[in-house]
Amino acid sequence: MKKLLLTLLFLAGTLTGLYAQKKERIVYAVKNKDILWFDRYMPEKDYNNITLVFVHGGAFTGGHPDNQKPLAEGMTKLGYQVIVLKYRLYLQGRSFGCETATSEKTKAIYTAMEDVRTATEYFLRNASRYRIDTGKMFIAGSSAGAEAVLNLVYDPYSGRKESAPAHPYKGILSFAGALLDITPLERNKKIPLLLMHGTNDQLVPFATAPHRFCNASDAGWMMMFGSETIFNLYQQAGAPAVLYAYNGKGHEVSNFMFREFEMMDAFMKAVLNNQLNSARYNL
C-alpha cells in the first residue's frame, strides 16, 4: 500500500508538467524507497516504429533524464520513439574516482544494470500499450550509461543465478563506454554495435587501461575495455560494428548523442535492413 501511495503521489506531481514538456513520465518499478521511471517522447508525426532506449551518464553519482531533451528532440524529428530511463545512482553524493573502492564502483554499475534490465522487462510486458515494436528496439548510453548498457548485454556477472535472460535489443549505441570484462563478449553472440569515443578520453579509456587511469595502488583501480578494444574483437569475429574515433578528443564525446543524429539514424536503419558494414572512421 505504501508503494502504491508513493507512486500515485509521484504521478500527481508530474502530470501538470507533461504537456509543457512534450513528454510522458511513467513509473516502471519501485525498489525500496526508489521510484524508477522513464520519460517517453513520441514523434509528432511519421513514427517509424523504432524505439531508442537511452541511459544517461553522470558517473553513477548524478545525471538526470531531463538533461536528455536535445537527444529526444533530435531523434523524434527523425521519426523515433525515445525512452530515457531514470535508474538508481548508487554513488549519489560520493565519487566514482580512484579513491572509491573498486567493489563500490562495480556495485554502482551492477545496480544500474539491474534497473535497465527491469525496465526492459517492463517494455516487453507493455509493448502494445506504448507502441513498441519489440523487433525494432535499440539501446544507447552515454559514459556511465554506456557502461551500464554494454555490461548489461555482455554481463560480467553471468555466473550469477539472477543473471539476465536474453535481451530484445537489435543493436547498441555507446558514447564513451567500456566493459568491465571482455570474456563474455568473446564467447557470446555479438549484436550490431555503434561506438563513439575520443582517443584522448581521460575518464573512460578508449582502448584498454585502468578506469580514470588510476594507479594500481589506488582503492578504485580497475581495468576497463573501451571502444577500440571492443571494436577490434568484433573485427576478429567478423561481427558488425562501426567505430567513430574522434582523434584528440576527450570525454566530451560522451555528449555527441546530442549532435550525431544522422549517424545514429543510419546505423539503426542499416541494422534493421541487414545492410550494416563494419567500419572505423577516424574523425
Length of the chain: 283
As a whole number, mean pLDDT of residues 83-112 equals 96
* Pairwise CA distance, residues 125 & 1, whole Å: 23
Answer whether 251's CB lies under 8 Å from 143's CB: yes
Question: Phi/psi at 149 (nearest 5 deg)?
Answer: -70, -50
| Range 35-41 average pLDDT | 98
Q: What is the pLDDT of residue 6?
A: 45
The burial class, CB within 10 Å (0-12 / 13-18 / 19+), for 31 is middle
| Contact between 143 and 175 (Cβ < 8 Å) | yes
Q: What is the CATH number of the domain that holds 25?
A: 3.40.50.1820
pLDDT of residue 159: 58
Q: By the 8 A CB rule, do 178 and 150 touch?
A: yes
In angstroms, the CA 244 to CA 161 distance is 36
Tell me, what's the pLDDT at 189?
A: 81
Q: Are 49 and 272 in contact (CB under 8 A)?
A: no
Has residue 2 got a pLDDT over 90? no
Q: Is the pLDDT of residue 22 over 90?
A: no
Instruction: State which residues form the domain around 216.
Output: 2-282
- Three-class SS state of 219: coil
What is the rounded distance in angstroms from the CA atom of residue 93 to the CA atom of residue 194?
Answer: 32
- Rounded mean pLDDT, 235-244: 95
* Count of structural domains, the chain: 1
The whole-number average pLDDT for the span 132-155 is 96
pLDDT of 15 reads 41
Say which residue, 19 or 221, is predicted with more confidence: 221
Read off the pLDDT of residues 258-276 as tens digits, 9 standing for 90 and up.
999 999 999 999 999 999 9
Which pLDDT belongs to residue 38? Answer: 98
Confidence of residue 157 (pLDDT cuts 50, 70, 90): confident
Report whether pLDDT(156) > 80.
yes
Q: Is the pLDDT of residue 67 over 80?
A: yes
Looking at the chain, the whole-number percentage of residues with pLDDT higher than 70 is 89
How does pLDDT run across 202-218, given as a tens digit for each residue? 999 999 999 999 999 99
* Mean model confidence pLDDT for the chain: 90
CA–CA separation, 81 vs 26, rounded Å? 14
The pTM score is 0.89
Sorting pLDDT into bands at 50, 70 and 90, what band is 166?
low
The pLDDT, as a whole number, for residue 3 is: 52
CA distance 148 to 55: 8
**Does residue 86 register a pLDDT over 60?**
yes
Cell of 206: 578508449
% of residues, the chain, pLDDT over 90 = 83
pLDDT at 112 over 70: yes
Residue 101 main-chain phi, psi, to 5 deg: -55, 140
